[in-house]
A = this chain, B = another copy of it.
Amino acid sequence: MLETTLCGITLKNPVIAASGTFGFGAEYSQFFDVGRLGGICSKGLTLHPREGNPGLRVWETPAGMMNSVGLQNPGIPVFLERELPRMRTLGTAIIANVGGDDLEDYVEGVQLLSNAEGIDIIELNISCPNVREGGMAFGIKCDAAASVVAAVRPVCAKPLMVKLSPNAEDIVAMAIACERAGADAVSLVNSFKALAIDIHTRKPVFDNVTAGLSGPCIKPIALRMVWEVASAVHIPVVGIGGIATWQDALEFIMAGATAVQVGSATFVKPTVMLDIVDGLERYCADEHLTSIATVCSILGTETPLP
């Protein structure tokens, strides 16, 4: 009932671990069979290894959290050699999330990943709010986004999913631009650019000043964006943002998401994604749905009132 096809890849169910919140999958295998998930997005990868941001990296907010990890990762070559083989044993779809500072890095990175066996989908992160120059800019302006998608498209033999930023000037136009430039799917949203100030030191909490906000607090906005984007593009949409229960996941699916990603909620309860899978399964059974896809986009794209 939950089997889902995303860009031609069959997922056991539409529940995917969001990038940066699930490592490379091994850590959470200690708690549950991660093979029961629809898929796992890797930690954001860059061509070269990165140490990430200095200073404090996490801060809590009402019903949310801010992070400033800054794409710390071992680099794509090390990922391919050391992490991917282990990920492939986990028994679920593997989505490689790739970030970058400039076009060349993106292209070279995607090329390496595209040639690797065992990666099912490449998720192009054009939206990390925690990296200065680069990254973010691609996520804000449509033409910048289109240019990076167009640049990686020719070297990407695998399904290409573009991860959008909620900080985009116009997320609908952004999604359409990515679709036109060759994206096979879009996923949204990444974290929101946000600020916290330590009133005692009179300084920003984060060295990088702003950081990315995620968690339940962002859900209503993320859901609106997913609905708007799903109403405007013809490629599949993967919904992300504050999903913590199967009801949340279902809202995103009804708004038009083919699948969903769960991030911060896993920190609250390591096994939350299994609860979501089980809840969606029960829902399908209770409602006599042969497939969860039946309720995908059921909200429609038309606004009921004039």
Contacts and interface: CB of A to CB of B under 8 A. Distances in A.
A213 B221 CA distance: 8
Contacts of A218: 217
A195 B220 contact: yes
Given A209-B305, A224-B193, A305-B208, A62 B217 contact: yes
Contacts of A63: 62-64, 216-217
Given A66-B220, A204-B299, A254-B202, A306 B247 contact: no
A303 interface: yes
Interface residues of A, number: 47
A227 interface: yes
Contacts of A303: 208-209
Q: Do most interface residues of chain A lie in helix, strand or loop, or is the interface mixed?
A: mixed
A304 B64 contact: no
A206 to B, nearest CB: 9
Copies in the complex: 2
Interface in A216-253: 216-221, 223-224, 227, 242, 247, 250-251
Contacts of A199: 247, 250-251, 254
A250 B66 CA distance: 19
Interface string A134-178: 000000000000000000000000000000000001100000000
Contact of A197 (B64, B210, B251): B251
Contact of A202 (B210, B224, B298): B298
Interface of A: 54, 61-64, 66, 132, 169-170, 192-197, 199, 202-204, 207-210, 213, 215-221, 223-224, 227, 242, 247, 250-251, 254-255, 295, 298-299, 303-306
Given A193-B221, A193-B224, A196-B251, 7 more contacts: A63-B64, A169-B170, A194-B220, A195-B227, A202-B295, A207-B305, A208-B305
9 contacts: A61-B217, A61-B220, A192-B220, A195-B255, A202-B298, A202-B299, A208-B303, A209-B304, A217-B218
